[in-house]
Amino acid sequence: MLEIEALSVSYGKREVLSRVSLSVKEGEVLAVLGHNGAGKTTLLKSVVSLVRAESGGIHLDGTQLCNTSPRTAAEAGVRLLPSEFRGIFSSRTVLDNLKIAMPARMGRDKARQEQEIAYCLEIFPDLRQKLKQPAGSLSGGQQQMVAMAVALMGRPRVLLLDEPSIGLSPNLVQRLLDEVRRLSDSQGLAAILVEQNANVALRIADRVAALRTGTIIREAPAGQVTQEQLWDLF
């Protein structure tokens, strides 16, 4: 479904991703593990064209996404849940954030918009009471729910999650990731989950890839990765 082929990215003269190849299928969760600065965020940002690739390809069912635009990626059904600022407008209400996130391909049809908002509220019922509040006034956990609901507006085919465990209680992390797993199983959502916290990622992942200083050093089914091997990776 999503194929990343020999992707290389540099910041100035410094190469931070070196010929990275990865793929994720419909209904599959791929965990990309790596230490600080390994290039995990850069990898996700390049998939949605927030950073420019020097070479390589990124295809979604054959459509080239590499070095297009975040909007092109979103319209194709690829959404990023960023770690920095969680990608929401804190001075706008929760409802506004959801409305803004509606992809253009779904048109400006009000009924459709309401249907999509209802879908997100079914997943995160806690947000029902918060719709009229500025997103920035919510707790960290609730803001993360808004961010995830924003990413799910328009039902993406591929969700990219950048360290969702940062700043959240273990309970909430579990809830969010269980939701990702449920959407993968029930709706065929493909997900790439970037984490430093390997144990969090392994709970829901089908496959694991280890990224070390910009290179994929290992890939394995999640069930085959032992704790010792994880220590080995880092």
Residues in contact with ligand ATP by CB under 6 A are: 11, 16, 34, 36-42, 196
Q: Contact 98/153 with Cβ under 8 angstroms?
A: yes
DSSP assignment of 140-195: HHHHHHHHHHHHHTT--SEEEEE-TTTTS-HHHHHHHHHHHHHHHHHH--EEEEEE
| Smallest distance, ligand ATP to C-beta of residue 228, A | 22
Long-range Cβ pairs for the range 116-123 (8 Å, 24+): 116/153, 116/154, 116/155, 117/153, 119/152, 119/155, 120/149, 120/152, 120/153, 121/149, 123/149, 123/152, 123/179
- In the complex with ligand ATP, the residue whose CB is nearer, 120 or 161, is 161
Structure tokens at 99: 């409305």
- In the complex with ligand ATP, the residue whose CB is nearer, 10 or 113, is 10
- In the complex with ligand ATP, the residue whose CB is nearer, 39 or 77, is 39
- In the complex with ligand ATP, the residue whose CB is nearer, 66 or 127, is 66
- In the complex with ligand ATP, the residue whose CB is nearer, 116 or 162, is 162
Give the C-alpha separation, 68 to 52, whole Å.
9
| Smallest distance, ligand ATP to C-beta of residue 39, A | 4
| Smallest distance, ligand ATP to C-beta of residue 129, A | 33
| Smallest distance, ligand ATP to C-beta of residue 38, A | 4
Strand partners, 218: 210
- In the complex with ligand ATP, the residue whose CB is nearer, 101 or 193, is 193
| Smallest distance, ligand ATP to C-beta of residue 43, A | 7
| Smallest distance, ligand ATP to C-beta of residue 163, A | 6
Q: Which pairing describes strands 78-81 and 158-162: parallel, antiparallel, or unpaired? A: parallel
Residue with tokens 């910009």: 214
